[in-house]
């Protein structure tokens, strides 16, 4: 579809050609869209920041804080209608099959499930009404009900360079995928945990390593495994990794690109979950709790449970 320059009416075959042409008018792409297609934050009426064309036209607010403040000011029915519209729009535009999980929502311009639960009795019932399939269910707590016996061990992959130190007996073992699993597959419903530092996570989800990582995920699927990608950093910090001092400035990938790949994996492989926790001690604690949960981890959104301090 052709596009016309709003400055001089010249027609171009692609947006890329148009964007290159804007230099003739001494206009940056951001300034062009903000001048000729102005969009304003619904809360404070400031012009929407331009990060990309998609970002500019898909965001109604300049920050999640403004979004939440605006929602609180609206009548209940109007707030509910807006939230439902956001979810419907994302389902349609991204051709979603499964209900967006906590990580999916926290990494795009949509309120988290925690916010949805303030306006709707059951987020998953809302998703179902919109034609989405639910992988998870609402839960209030996670009981550690699995019983270990003398023979139970956590198997640690022999390639793991900085293994976690568990309170449960462990043994180094050559795993085909993942870094940790319990030696009782029935007790954990064949659960494997892939541990990653934030730097490892970024590298794995980058262009160079993404396809290899997907092949590893598919190997797990062939073995009917449930795979949890456990990152030793909070989701908030992971989303702003370019500003962290311990992350190399040589990394070219952006958080937007990395988390686009995360969302793609979540929708494509229903047996995979990502979970971001605050450091290695937390990684040990949640890993042990997952292994001893009697498979309940399969039916809950782990990031949501962690954010709500249930996990």
Residue extents of the structural domains in the chain: 3-38, 74-129, 154-307
Confidence category of residue 125, pLDDT binned at 50, 70, 90:
very high
Structure tokens at 153: 């061990």
CATH of 154-307, picked from 3.40.630.30, 3.40.50.10130, 3.40.50.300, 3.90.1150.10, is 3.40.50.10130
Euclidean distance between CA atoms 16 and 200, whole angstroms: 33
Determine the pLDDT at residue 146: 66
Q: Residue 164 contacts by C-beta under 8 Å, 6 or more apart in sequence? A: 156, 180, 195, 280, 283, 284, 287
Beta bridge partners of 267: none
In the chain, the percentage of residues whose pLDDT exceeds 90 is: 88
Q: Residue 155 contacts by C-beta under 8 Å, 6 or more apart in sequence? A: 170, 171, 172, 173, 175, 180, 181, 182, 183
Q: Report the run of H or E that residue 193 belongs to, with start and end.
A: strand 191-196
**Average pLDDT for 111-123:** 96
Determine the pLDDT at residue 144: 73
For the CA atoms of 262, 137, 191, 178, the dihedral, rounded to the nearest 10 degrees, stands at 10
The reply to whether the predicted model has a pTM over 0.85 is yes
Determine the pLDDT at residue 249: 75
What burial class does residue 303 get, using C-beta atoms within 10 Å of its C-beta: 0-12 exposed, 13-18 middle, 19+ buried? buried
């Amino acid at each position: 579809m052709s596009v016309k320059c709003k400055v001089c009416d010249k027609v171009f075959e692609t947006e890329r050609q148009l964007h290159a042409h804007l230099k003739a008018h001494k206009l940056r792409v951001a300034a062009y869209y903000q001048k000729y297609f102005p969009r304003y934050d619904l809360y404070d009426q400031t012009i929407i920041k331009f990060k990309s064309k998609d970002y500019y036209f898909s965001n109604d607010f300049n920050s999640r804080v403004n979004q939440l403040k605006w929602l609180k000011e609206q009548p209940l029915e109007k707030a509910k209608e807006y939230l439902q519209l956001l979810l419907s729009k994302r389902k349609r535009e991204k051709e979603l099959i499964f209900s967006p999980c906590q990580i999916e929502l926290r990494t795009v311009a949509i309120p988290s499930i925690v916010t949805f639960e303030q306006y709707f009795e059951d987020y998953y019932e809302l998703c179902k009404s919109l034609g989405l399939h639910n992988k998870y269910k609402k839960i209030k707590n996670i009981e550690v009900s699995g019983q270990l016996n003398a023979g139970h061990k956590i198997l640690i992959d022999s390639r793991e360079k900085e293994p976690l130190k568990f309170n449960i007996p462990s043994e180094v073992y050559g795993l085909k995928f993942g870094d940790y699993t319990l030696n009782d597959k029935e007790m954990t419903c064949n659960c494997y945990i892939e541990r990653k530092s934030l730097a490892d996570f970024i590298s794995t989800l980058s262009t160079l390593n993404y396809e290899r990582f997907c092949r590893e995920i598919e190997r797990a699927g062939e073995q009917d495994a449930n795979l949890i990608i456990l990152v030793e950093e909070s989701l908030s910090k992971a989303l702003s990794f370019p500003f962290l001092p311990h992350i190399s400035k040589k990394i070219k990938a952006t958080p937007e690109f990395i988390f686009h790949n995360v969302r793609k994996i979540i929708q494509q492989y229903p047996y995979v979950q990502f979970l971001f926790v605050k450091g290695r001690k937390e990684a040990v604690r949640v890993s042990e709790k997952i292994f001893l949960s009697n498979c309940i981890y399969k039916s809950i959104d782990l990031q949501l449970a962690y954010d709500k301090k249930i996990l």
